[in-house]
């Protein structure tokens, strides 16, 4: 496992702790979960930089990085819904979209051994979610707006991945296993 994947694993470990502290519904839990979220955000930036600068971009990293982002975001949404009155529709819409996206990725990998890497839309939505989470506790309406926009960007990212799949398919770049 590469150094970049080890750094990515930090987010995987942090996500449940973010949820536990956030769902406590206390100011102390909010402070701890915010600190953990900031560490998760830093690890997201750092793992990408390390992977590119050390030529450690790997198939495992292409799978692990977005999965840990999804887990971190879902942990935040779930904790915010349970203890901080984040609207349930945001949590459910995100969950359904991510289940579809993960199922699509599994299908693509299982049948074609092909991965479509994260693009700027996916990375922008992750940044938007992180920003929205932090703003939610400063101004709830602004936070919900930013989180909603981040969700819409993530839906658009899913569309761009589907479009990339169609391009690969039309150019014969996908070979059935």
pLDDT in tens, 25-74: 999 999 999 999 999 999 999 999 999 999 998 989 989 999 999 999 99
Q: Which two tokens stand for residue 145?
A: 């707006």
d(CA 35, CA 176): 45
Q: How confident is the model at residue 171 (pLDDT cuts 50, 70, 90)?
A: confident
pLDDT recorded at residue 117: 86
Q: What is the pLDDT of residues 127-137, one digit of tens each?
A: 999 999 999 99
pLDDT recorded at residue 113: 87
pLDDT recorded at residue 175: 76
d(CA 29, CA 19): 9
Please report, for the chain, the start and end positions of each structural domain, with discontinuous segments joined by +: 3-170
pLDDT recorded at residue 43: 95
Q: How confident is the model at residue 157 (pLDDT cuts 50, 70, 90)?
A: very high
pLDDT recorded at residue 176: 76
pLDDT recorded at residue 26: 97
Q: Which of 171, 56, 65, 168 is nearest to 112 (CA)?
A: 168
Q: Cβ distance 76 to 37 under 8 Å?
A: yes
* Coil, strand or helix at 174: coil
pLDDT recorded at residue 173: 82
pLDDT recorded at residue 120: 95
d(CA 10, CA 39): 9
d(CA 37, CA 33): 6
Q: What is the pLDDT of residues 94-148, one digit of tens each?
A: 999 999 999 999 999 999 888 888 899 999 999 999 999 999 999 999 999 999 9
| 3-170 under CATH 1.20.120.1760, yes or no | yes
Give mean pLDDT, residues 12-23.
97
């Amino acid at each position: 496992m590469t150094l970049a994947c080890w750094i990515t694993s930090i987010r995987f470990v942090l996500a449940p702790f973010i949820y536990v502290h956030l769902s406590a519904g206390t100011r102390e839990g909010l402070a701890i979960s915010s600190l953990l979220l900031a560490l998760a955000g830093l690890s997201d930036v750092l793992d990408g930089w390390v992977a590119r600068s050390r030529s450690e971009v790997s198939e495992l990293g292409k799978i692990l990085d977005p999965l840990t982002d999804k887990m971190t975001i879902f942990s935040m949404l779930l904790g915010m819904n349970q203890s901080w009155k984040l609207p349930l529709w945001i949590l459910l819409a995100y969950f359904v979209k991510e289940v579809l996206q993960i199922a699509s990725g599994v299908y693509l990998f299982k049948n074609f051994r092909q991965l479509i890497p994260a693009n700027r839309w996916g990375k922008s939505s992750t940044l938007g979610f992180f920003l929205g989470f932090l703003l939610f506790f400063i101004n709830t309406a602004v936070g919900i707006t930013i989180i909603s926009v981040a969700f819409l960007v993530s839906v658009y990212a899913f569309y761009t991945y589907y479009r990339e799949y169609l391009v690969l398919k039309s150019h014969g770049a996908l070979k059935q296993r």
